[in-house]
Amino acid sequence: MTTETHSSTEHGMSNAGYVKIALILAAITALEVATYYVDFGPLFMPALMIMMVVKFVVVVSYFMHLKFDNKLFTWVFYAGLFLALGVYAVALATFHFFS
Amino acid sequence: MWFTLAEHAVITAGEHDTGHGDHHTSTGLSNNKLGMWLFLGSECLLFGGLISTYMLYRGRVGEGPRPSQVFDIPFTSVSSFVLLMSSLTMVLAVSAAHKGDDRNTNLWVTITALLGATFVGGQVYEFTAFYNEGMGFTTSLFSSSFYVLTGFHGVHVTVGIIMLMSIVGIMKRSKTPGSKAETVEMIGLYWHFVDVVWIIIFTLIYLVPA
Nearest to A81 among B44, B90, B192 (CB): B44
Domain ranges of chain A: 2-68, 69-99
pLDDT in tens, B116-136: 999 999 999 999 999 999 899
Q: Is the CB of residue B203 less than 8 Å away from at least one CB of chain A? A: yes
Q: Report the greatest alpha carbon distance in chain B.
A: 60
Contact yes or no for B190/B9 (Cβ under 8 A): no
Distances (CA, A) of B87 to A94, B42, B143, B174: 36, 21, 29, 25
Other Cβ atoms less than 10 A from the Cβ of B155: the count is 11
Is B133 part of any domain? Answer: yes
Rounded to a whole number, what is the distance in Å from the CA of B56 to chain A's nearest CA?
Answer: 7
> Structurally, how many domains does chain B consist of?
1
Can you tell me the mean pLDDT for B21-50?
86
Q: Is the dihedral of CA A53, A58, A56, A38 positive or negative?
A: negative
Reported as a single tens digit per residue, the pLDDT across B64-94 is 888 888 899 999 999 999 999 999 999 999 9
- Contact predicate B156/B195, CB 8 Å: no
**Could you report the per-residue pLDDT of A5-42, keeping only the tens digit for each?**
344 445 678 999 999 999 999 999 999 999 988 888 88
DSSP state of B35: H
Q: Please state, in angstroms and rounded to a whole number, the distance separating the CA atoms of residues B107 and A27.
A: 26
Give pLDDT, residue B100: 87
Asked, for residue B120, whether it belongs to a domain, the answer is: yes
Boundaries of domain holding B139: 2-6+30-207
Is residue B181 one of the residues assigned to a domain?
yes
Instruction: Measure CB to CB from residue A80 to each of B45, B90, B203 and give the nearest one.
Output: B45
Contacts of A21 in chain B (CB under 8 A): 88
Q: What is the dihedral of CA B122, B123, B128, B130, to 10 degrees?
A: 110
What's the sign of the alpha-carbon dihedral B141, B142, B144, B145? positive
Collect all residues with Cβ–Cβ distance below 8 Å to A48 and sequence separation of at least 6: A32, A35, B203, B207, B208
Query: B97 CB near a chain A CB, below 8 Å?
Result: no
Residues of A in contact with B189 (CB under 8 A): 64
